[in-house]
Amino acid sequence: MFAVRRTLSVALATALFCGWAAAAEPEYTIVIKNHRFEPAEVKVPAGQRVKLVVDNQDSTPEEFESHSMNREKVIPGGKKAAVFVGPLKPGRYTFFGEYHEKTAQGVVIAE
């Protein structure tokens, strides 16, 4: 039990350290306003991990979700949150706001 717990915490600590140590990936900001993404099309380099910063300027929360990038994260109203994606193969990866799916649609283009 303790061994498992210790291994887990060591693993987490190592992961945290690596995460901060390697913070050199390209960063892209996507703003949410009036339940729409701006820009709705984001070009990122393929074959490399990238950091998407989702800046929710609406007063309501939104869930940034992408099936093709296998990501989902709730961003409270007026907050920013980081989502790491990839490395992606060249192609189009759609994302949407689950709480306002009709309007909140976007695409990441990896090239």
Partner 1 sequence: MFAAALIVFRESLEAALFVGIVAAATRQLAGRGRWLSAGVSLGVLGALVMAFAAQHVGDWFDGLGQDVINIAVLSVALVMLLWHCIWVAAHSREMASDARRLGQSVQQGERKPWALLVAVALAVLREGAETVLFVSGAITGTETGAGAVVAAVVFGVALGAAAGLVIYGGLARISPRHLFTTTNVLIAILAGSIGSQLVKSLAQAGFIERWTSPLWDTSQWLAPDSAIGTLLHALVGYDARPSAAQLASYLAVLALIFLGNRLLRPRPQPVR
Q: What's the closest the beta carbon of residue 92 comes to partner 1, in angstroms?
A: 14
Q: What's the closest the beta carbon of residue 22 comes to partner 1, in angstroms?
A: 6
Token pair of 5 as six digits: 């717990």
Q: What's the closest the beta carbon of residue 3 comes to partner 1, in angstroms?
A: 11
| Side-chain-facing half-sphere of 5: CA atoms under 13 Å | 2
3-state SS class at 109:
strand
Nearer to partner 1, 44 or 83 (CB): 83
Residues of this chain that interact with partner 1 (CB under 8 A) are 1, 4-5, 8, 12, 15-16, 18-19, 22-23, 25, 49, 51, 53, 58-63, 67-68, 70-71, 73-77, 79-89, 98-99, 101
Residues 6+ apart with CB under 8 A from 96: 65, 66, 104, 105, 106
Nearer to partner 1, 25 or 109 (CB): 25
Q: From the CB of residue 77, how many other CB atoms can be counted at a distance below 10 Å?
A: 12
